[in-house]
Amino acid sequence: MSESEQSITVDEAYEQDNDKSIKFLRPRFHAEAFPTVQIFGYVGSLVLTFAAYFLVMNHVLPVLALLIIILTLAALQAALQLGVFMHVQEGRGMAWQIIPLYLVFLIAFGMVGMSIWIMLFKSGVS
Amino acid sequence: MPSFVPYLVHTLFPPTVRLPDILLIDFGLICAGIGVIVLLTKTRRWGWLWNDWLTTVDHKKIAILYLIAALVMLMRGGIDALMLRAQLALPTTHFMPASQYDEVFTTHGTIMVFFMGMPFIFALFNAVVPLMIGARDVAFPRLNAMSYWLFAFGAILFNISFVIGGSPNAGWTAYPPYTGLAFNPGPGENYYFLALIIAGMGTTMTGINFLVTTLKMRAPGMSLMKMPMFVWSTMVTSALILFAFPPLTVALAMSLFDRLFGSHFFTLARGGMPMMYVNLFWLFGHPEVYILIIPLFGVFSEVVATFSKKMLFGYPVMVASIVAIMFLAYGTWVHHFFTMGAGPAVNAFFGLSTMLIAIPTGVKIFNWIFTMWGGRIQTTTAMLYQMAFIPVFMVGGATGILLAVVPADYQLHNSYFLVAHFHNVLIGGTLFGLLSGLYYWWPKMFGMKLNETQGKWAFWLFLIGFWVTFLPQYLLGLKGMTRRMYTYPLGFGWHDLNVISTFGAFIMGAAFVVLVYNIVWSLLYGERDLTGDPWDGRTLEWSLPSPVPEYNFPRIPVVHDRDAWWAMKQKGQSLADLRPEDVHDVEMPKNSPIPFLLGASFFVLGFGMTFAWWPIAIIGFVGIILCLLFSGFDYNDHHHLKADAIRQTEATLGRLQG
Note the pLDDT tens digit of each residue in B599-634. Answer: 999 999 999 999 999 999 999 999 999 999 999 888
Range with the poorest average pLDDT among A81-90, B173-182, B394-403: A81-90
Tell me which residue of B608, B527, B600, B516 sits closest to B55, measured CA to CA: B600
Give the closest-approach CA distance of B606 to chain A in angstroms.
26
Rounded to the nearest angstrom, the gap between the alpha carbon of residue B524 and the centroid of all alpha carbons in its chain is 26
| B653 or B382, higher pLDDT | B382
Measured between alpha carbons, how far is B186 from B175 in angstroms, rounded to an integer?
Answer: 16
Measured between alpha carbons, how far is B338 from B348 in angstroms, rounded to an integer?
Answer: 9
Side chain identity at residue B72, one-letter code: V
Give the closest-approach CA distance of B331 to chain A in angstroms.
8
Q: Which helix H or strand E contains B588, and what residues bound it?
A: strand B586-589
Please list, in sequence order, all residues whose beta carbon lies within 8 angstroms of the beta carbon of residue B175, skipping any fewer than 6 positions away: B274, B277, B278, B281
Range with the poorest average pLDDT among B5-19, B309-323, B391-405: B5-19
- CB–CB contact A103 B243 (8 Å): yes
User: Which chain A residues have a beta carbon less than 8 Å from that of B275?
Assistant: 119, 122
User: What is the pLDDT, as a whole number, of residue B468?
Assistant: 96
Measured between alpha carbons, how far is B6 from A95 in angstroms, rounded to an integer?
Answer: 61
Peptide bond into B344 cis (omega under 30): no
Q: Which helix H or strand E contains B209, and what residues bound it?
A: helix B188-216
User: What is the pLDDT, as a whole number, of residue B343?
Assistant: 82
Q: How many CB atoms lie within 10 A of CB B495?
A: 18
Please report, for chain B, the start and end positions of each structural domain, with discontinuous segments joined by +: 544-592+639-658
Query: Got the DSSP string for chain A?
Result: --S--TTS-HHHHHHHSS--S-GGG----PPPSS-HHHHHHHHHHHHHHHHHHHHHHHT-S-HHHHHHHHHHHHHHHHHHIIIIIS-TT--SSS-TTHHHHHHHHHHHHHHHHHHHHHHGGGGGT-
Measured between alpha carbons, how far is B29 from B212 in angstroms, rounded to an integer?
Answer: 40
Measured between alpha carbons, how far is B191 from B161 in angstroms, rounded to an integer?
Answer: 7
Which among B279, B327, B330 has CB closest to A118? B279
User: Which chain B residues have a beta carbon less than 8 Å from that of A108?
Assistant: 243
Kindly indicate the confidence band of residue A120, based on its pLDDT and cuts at 50, 70 and 90: confident
**DSSP conformational letter for B447:** S
| Model confidence pLDDT, tens digit, residues B366-392 | 999 999 999 999 999 999 999 999 999
Query: Got the DSSP string for B101-115?
Result: HHHHHHHHHHIIIII
Number of residues in chain B:
658
| Model confidence pLDDT, tens digit, residues B319-340 | 999 999 998 988 899 999 988 8
User: Which chain A residues have a beta carbon less than 8 Å from that of B279?
Assistant: 115, 118-119
Side chain identity at residue B163, one-letter code: V
Please list, in sequence order, all residues whose beta carbon lies within 8 angstroms of the beta carbon of residue A53, skipping any fewer than 6 positions away: none
Q: Which helix H or strand E contains B641, and what residues bound it?
A: strand B638-641
Considering chain A, what percentage of its residues have pLDDT values greater than 70? 66
Considering chain B, what percentage of its residues have pLDDT values greater than 90? 71
Tell me which residue of B248, B204, B198, B277 sits closest to B609, measured CA to CA: B198
User: What is the pLDDT, as a whole number, of residue B604?
Assistant: 97
- CB–CB contact B283 A115 (8 Å): yes
Q: What angle do CA A44, A46, A48 make, to 5 degrees?
A: 70
- CB–CB contact A100 B276 (8 Å): no
> Least CA distance to B279: which residue of chain A?
A115
- In three-state secondary structure terms, B376 is coil
Report helix angle B381-404 to B358-372, nearest 10: 150
Kindly indicate the confidence band of residue B508, based on its pLDDT and cuts at 50, 70 and 90: very high
Range with the poorest average pLDDT among A7-21, B25-39, B258-272, B372-386: A7-21
On whether the CB atoms of residues B591 and B138 are closer than 8 A, the answer is no
Tell me which residue of A103, A52, A99, A98 sits closest to A75, measured CA to CA: A52
User: What is the pLDDT, as a whole number, of residue A30?
Assistant: 56
> Least CA distance to A93: which residue of chain B?
B216
- CB–CB contact A2 B273 (8 Å): no
Quick one: residue B117, left, alpha or beta (phi over 0 = left, psi -120 to 50 = alpha)?
Answer: alpha
Give the closest-approach CA distance of A126 to chain B in angstroms.
8
Q: How many CB atoms lie within 10 A of CB A88?
A: 17
Best of B237, B268, B330 to mutate (most A CBs within 10 Å, chain A): B330
Query: Residues in chain A whose beta carbon is closer than 8 A to a beta carbon of chain B?
Result: 1-4, 96, 99-100, 103-104, 106-108, 110-111, 114-115, 117-119, 121-122, 126
- CB–CB contact A121 B342 (8 Å): yes
What integer best gives the mean pLDDT of chain A? 74
Best of B283, B339, B644 to mutate (most A CBs within 10 Å, chain A): B283
Tell me which residue of B164, B63, B210 sits closest to B603, measured CA to CA: B164
- CB–CB contact A4 B216 (8 Å): no
Measured between alpha carbons, how far is B483 from B475 in angstroms, rounded to an integer?
Answer: 13
What integer best gives the mean pLDDT of chain B? 92
Q: Taking 80 as the threshold, does the pLDDT of residue B18 lie above it? A: yes
Q: Taking 90 as the threshold, does the pLDDT of residue A111 lie above it? A: no
Side chain identity at residue B202, one-letter code: G
